[in-house]
Structure 1
Amino acid sequence: MADVTIRIAAEAKDRLTAVAAAEGLSLRDYLIQLSQRPPRPSAPVALPAPVVSSEQALAALFAWSGYAPTPSEEAEIDRELERRIAKAMGR
């Protein structure tokens, strides 16, 4: 692959170099990685209609995640949460 020169403001180069360094990359490697990312969509992504009830929100969450605890699992989770809160509060 042949190298090219790109002219940008020194401040922009410095910012890009800092971003690359924060990701553990050289500026050259960072720009190569950046060029290989898929383009962002040009139009905003349509959001689903708002959920109007907590039951609908839970149904949507369960449908999305596949997680649907049984009542006994919920009780155990609640007990564990209460235990952790008490521990954090020094009780």
Structure 2
Amino acid sequence: MEEKKSPITERRKESANTPVWWSKLTLAQKFSASSLGKFGYELLFIRHVNGQDVAVLQCNGGIATITPDGEINTTAKIKLRSK
């Protein structure tokens, strides 16, 4: 039976310090994040989800996630709390 996953809700009120988060990415995540950066995505934070550290990026209101093996999901179901 497939586990039903609920959307992630981000509760931070201030932007994360990107260099700190960048240093915590896997090599595969860094390559994927660099690719997304060419389209304007910025690394927001890393979230521990289902035993994995998933990178969360944002661009013009769009959200993308990157798994530890570098897989990009630009249709991630994540809610960011408004400031």
Same fold by TM-score greater than 0.5: no
Give 1 or 2: higher helix fraction: 1
Give 1 or 2: higher strand fraction: 2
* Greater Cα radius of gyration, structure 1 or 2: 1
TM-score, structure 1 as length reference: 0.26
TM-score, structure 2 as length reference: 0.28
Q: Tell which has more relative contact order, 1 or 2 (C-alpha 8 A, sep 6+).
A: 2
